[in-house]
Amino acid sequence: MSFMKSLAELNAIREKAKSTMTVRDDNTELKRIVVGMATCGIAAGARPVLNAFVDEVARRKLDGVRVSQTGCIGMCQYEPIVEVFIPGEEKVTYVKMTADKVAKVVNDHIVNGNIVEEYTIGAIAK
Amino acid sequence: MYRAHVLVCGGTGCTSSNSLEIIKALESSIAEAGLAEEIKVIKTGCFGLCALGPIMIVYPEGCFYCQVKPEDVQEIVDEHLLKGRPVKRLIYKEGSNLEMAKSLNNTDFYKKQHRIALRNCGVIDPENINEYIAMDGYQALAKCLTEMTPADVIKVVKDSGLRGRGGGGFPTGLKWEFTAKNQADQKYVVCNADEGDPGAFMDRSVLEGDPHAIIEAMTICGYATGATEGYIYVRAEYPIAVKRLEIAIGQAKELGLLGKNIFDSGFDFDLHIRLGAGAFVCGEETALMTSIEGNRGEPRPRPPYPAVKGLFGKPTTENNVETFANIPQILLHGAEHFASMGTERSKGTKVFALGGKIKNTGLVEIPMGTTLREVIEDIGGGIPGGKKFKAAQTGGPSGGCIPASLIDTEIDYDNLTAIGCMMGSGGLIVMDEDNCMVDIAKFFLDFTVDESCGKCSPCRIGTKRMMELLEKITSGKGTLEDIDKLEELAYYIKQNSLCGLGQTAPNPVLATLKFFREEYIAHVVDKKCPAGVCKALLNYVIDPDKCRGCTMCAKVCPAGAISGTVKNPHTIDTSLCLKCGACMEKCKFNAISKK
């Protein structure tokens, strides 16, 4: 490892290390993406969806977004289910998610605030 | 990118209740479940709530598990980490409804705390310099070396109002200035990590949980005072702290944060670790330096003070671990920010190691000016078993006690001194109605008699004589005159001892005499120990109304002191009784009591 010579180099290490520690942020004002990971969810392929969210959020270096998991949401036929909680807004439930759909949800909904209607329970359960 | 982090306490407290085994089990269960790429296990320093260890926190949920056993690990992995269902039976609960705490910061134990010195303890991996840097680590050092002159640094430390956390309470900035003013070819920085008070573990926890903070602060101190070398004097009984310090120093050297030309500023600084063999007197600054020099740890007269003639005869700044732990934060956020906390003459926060008769044994950091009541009742969770609070002992063998009548005292240097107590390094031992204050004084004096280095006679002989007087009193042979003699001797030793050890050794006796003189008098006049602790003054008696004559007590008595016939009240022959208490434990009818 090379010797640190400037504040800029120290800051570079700080930013890189910080991005790996966001998961430990205790802030309650976060946008939360919650993936159902009960047996039903896992069987339907929730794990790749969860990991795709984690990677996408990290890739875009999004601050204030937390990806976590929960148990069975109760509508097993629609798994993998993903719920998005944005402070001050109504919860949005996405169903039958796949890893391919993740980038769009993060881009449209989390970053730009536009709900991806076609993936929501309202669209798919019809 | 890991989707979850599992933090497990790797401090001394949790390690001794198997946290390392838990980490091992976690790692293997996680690997077995195929989650190794998704979940990271991190060994941290002390979280503070040692009574509930081993402690584990799972992020992103911030789920706070306590008293985890290695056999619980499989369930946590299967249920929580894999399926997202927190294991409810292990979650920390508090309050009368036993509500589950959602996160650590929401618990009563943490809410009233304010963590500066402990800010990274239990939060980061102390063996990973990158995590310290992520928490703004080494930013203060960079700021000092690239933007500030040594005089600027000293001014900020002076303006912050920081005072020595080792117990003395001397203004830190002033200490630095004294050293800076003395010209010499070599100066030193010394960190006093020879934490010797019984019941104190603040410094150990900082070193275990955040070693880089001490390295950064000592380097800053070196820059401010013109020293290029530093020594950390740490007890050999703290193997985890020593190991993490060694790792941290190695990492800092690798990144060029220690060594030559730090941050290209032309400033060099190097650090060494010295292990203490556990002599209490080596916590005294001059004895500590004598020990670093390779000599027998004995104090030397001051003046000359270390700032003039310290380690190896050169100007030296010596600070305690907790004092140093505050330094990077002060320089990063400014003197005003630090000075905004605390009371008029005691700024910032103080770390206490809570112990004794208290529910939440552990480590707490409170703003100066918090009352003792808040510390004991709100943060500490009160006294177990519904017993009554009697006194809190601070400052260990050099300190005094705060009686129940003064529980609303705001804790700071001057308030504690005013009531004849002292801040001390931070041990806070809570005592309830079952503690005998004479016995407590004897306990601490016994410690100083053992630890007196023997160099000066007031301390060597005087403490021994005081001990004999206390033994006489607790064995029921004391007179009122003995109490006066004890007091006179105590003042003499305070005034005539060479170093801090002897000058403070009589404090526990003087403080208990001040607040609990009636207990001393009960021992010599009534020949009774009101708390029922001093064995020689106790008699076990059987209440004939309650005794059913079951003969259990007579069977269990090892001395054959209990006699009586079946179904008739028994009696104890006090001349034969050994006062072991076995009969009292066995009696099903609560007929036996100590009087």
Q: Which domains are seen in chain B, by residue range?
A: 4-110 (3.40.30.10), 129-339 (3.40.50.11540), 349-432 (3.10.20.600), 437-526 (1.20.1440.230), 539-594 (3.30.70.20)
Radius of gyration of chain A (CA): 17
Indicate yes or no: CB of A55 within 8 angstroms of CB of B60: no
Q: Does B103 reach chain A within 8 Å, measured CB to CB?
A: yes
Q: Which of A3, A36, A51 sits opposite B3 (nearest CB)?
A: A51
Q: Read out DSSP for B338-353?
A: HHTSB-SSSBSEEEEE
Q: How many helices (H) and strands (E) does chain B have?
A: 24, 20
CA distance A49 to A68: 11
Q: How far is A13 from chain B (nearest CA, A)?
A: 7
| Spatial CA neighbour of B132 closest among B32, B245, B296 | B245
Contacts of A24 in chain B (CB under 8 A): 5, 7, 59-60, 123
Which residue from B minimizes the CA distance to A47?
B82
Contact between A36 and A79 under an 8 Å Cβ cutoff? The reply is yes
CA distance B291 to B299: 9
Say yes or no to pLDDT of A1 above 60. Answer: no
Amino acid letter, residue B73:
V
Contacts of B4 in chain A (CB under 8 A): 23, 68-69
Indicate yes or no: CB of A4 within 8 angstroms of CB of B257: yes
Q: How much is the pLDDT for B62?
A: 85
Q: Is B321 exposed, middle or buried (0-12, 13-18, 19+ CB in 10 A)?
A: buried
Q: Which of B84, B105, B256 sits opposite A70 (nearest CB)?
A: B84
CA distance B427 to B394: 6
Tens of pLDDT, residue by residue, chain B (595 residues): 788 999 999 999 999 999 999 999 999 999 999 999 889 999 999 999 898 989 999 988 888 999 999 999 999 999 999 888 889 899 988 766 666 666 677 788 888 899 999 999 999 999 999 999 999 999 999 999 999 999 999 999 999 999 999 888 999 999 999 999 999 999 999 999 999 888 899 999 999 999 999 999 999 999 999 999 999 999 999 999 999 999 999 999 999 999 999 999 999 999 999 999 989 999 999 999 999 999 999 999 989 999 999 999 999 999 999 999 999 999 999 999 999 999 999 999 999 999 999 999 999 999 999 999 999 999 999 999 889 999 999 988 988 999 999 999 999 999 998 888 888 889 999 999 999 999 999 999 999 999 999 999 999 999 999 999 999 999 999 999 999 999 999 999 999 999 999 999 999 999 999 999 999 999 999 999 999 899 888 888 899 999 999 999 999 999 999 999 999 999 999 889 988 889 999 999 999 988 7
CA distance B80 to B60: 12
Query: Is the torsion defined by CA of B256, B258, B259, B263 positive or negative?
Result: positive
Indicate yes or no: CB of B1 within 8 angstroms of CB of A5: no
Indicate yes or no: CB of A38 within 8 angstroms of CB of B84: yes
Q: How far is A112 from chain B (nearest CA, A)?
A: 23
Contacts of B131 in chain A (CB under 8 A): 17, 21
Q: How far is B454 from chain A (nearest CA, A)?
A: 49
Q: How much is the pLDDT for A2?
A: 58
Indicate yes or no: CB of B130 within 8 angstroms of CB of A16: yes
Indicate yes or no: CB of B7 within 8 angstroms of CB of A24: yes
CA distance B126 to B10: 10
Query: Which residues, at least 6 apart from B452, have a Cβ–Cβ distance to it below 8 Å?
Result: B281, B459, B460, B463, B501, B502, B505
Q: Which of A13, A42, A70 sits opposite B130 (nearest CB)?
A: A13
Indicate yes or no: CB of A69 within 8 angstroms of CB of B7: no
Amino acid letter, residue B211:
P
The crossing angle, in degrees rounded to 10, of helices B507-521 and B480-496 is 170
Residue-wise pLDDT tens digits, A24-79 = 876 667 889 999 988 889 899 999 999 999 999 989 988 888 888 888 888 888 99
| Spatial CA neighbour of B570 closest among B586, B593, B592, B585 | B592
Q: How much is the pLDDT for B95?
A: 67
Indicate yes or no: CB of A70 within 8 angstroms of CB of B1: no
Which SS3 state, helix, strand or coil, does residue A24 take? helix
Contacts of B137 in chain A (CB under 8 A): 14
Q: How much is the pLDDT for B97?
A: 63
Q: How far is A43 from chain B (nearest CA, A)?
A: 11
Q: Which of A6, A20, A37 sits opposite B84 (nearest CB)?
A: A37
Q: How far is A47 from chain B (nearest CA, A)?
A: 9
Contacts of A82 in chain B (CB under 8 A): none
| Spatial CA neighbour of B60 closest among B45, B44, B39, B33 | B39
For testing the chain B interface, which of A69, A70, A79 should be mutated: the one with the most B CBs within 10 Å? A69
For testing the chain B interface, which of A16, A24, A27, A28 should be mutated: the one with the most B CBs within 10 Å? A24
Contact between B44 and B126 under an 8 Å Cβ cutoff? The reply is yes
Q: Does B5 reach chain A within 8 Å, measured CB to CB?
A: yes
The structure tokens 């120990």 sit at B529
Q: How much is the pLDDT for A28?
A: 65
Q: How far is A35 from chain B (nearest CA, A)?
A: 9
Q: How much is the pLDDT for B595?
A: 77
Which residue from A minimizes the CA distance to B106?
A26
Number of A:B CB contacts under 8 A? 99
CATH architecture entry for A26-124: 3-Layer(aba) Sandwich (3.40)
Q: How far is A62 from chain B (nearest CA, A)?
A: 13
Q: How much is the pLDDT for B396?
A: 87
Indicate yes or no: CB of A6 within 8 angstroms of CB of B5: no
Which residue from A minimizes the CA distance to B103?
A26
Q: Is B70 exposed, middle or buried (0-12, 13-18, 19+ CB in 10 A)?
A: middle
Please give the residue that has the higher pLDDT: either A126 or B540.
B540
Contacts of A50 in chain B (CB under 8 A): 3, 38
Indicate yes or no: CB of B103 within 8 angstroms of CB of A38: no
Q: Which of B2, B123, B264 sits opposite A23 (nearest CB)?
A: B2
Task: Indicate the domain borders of chain A.
Answer: 26-124
Which residue from B minimizes the CA distance to A32?
B60
Q: Which of B3, B84, B264 sits opposite A6 (nearest CB)?
A: B264
* Beta strand ranges found along B194-327 (DSSP E): 229-235, 259-262, 267-276, 316-320
Indicate yes or no: CB of B60 within 8 angstroms of CB of A23: yes
pTM passes above 0.95: no
CA distance B17 to B245: 22
Which SS3 state, helix, strand or coil, does residue B263 take? coil
| Spatial CA neighbour of B282 closest among B271, B293, B270, B266 | B293
Indicate yes or no: CB of A4 within 8 angstroms of CB of B255: yes
Q: Which of B3, B133, B136 sits opposite A67 (nearest CB)?
A: B3
Q: How much is the pLDDT for B104?
A: 74
Q: How much is the pLDDT for B83?
A: 86
CA distance B561 to B545: 20
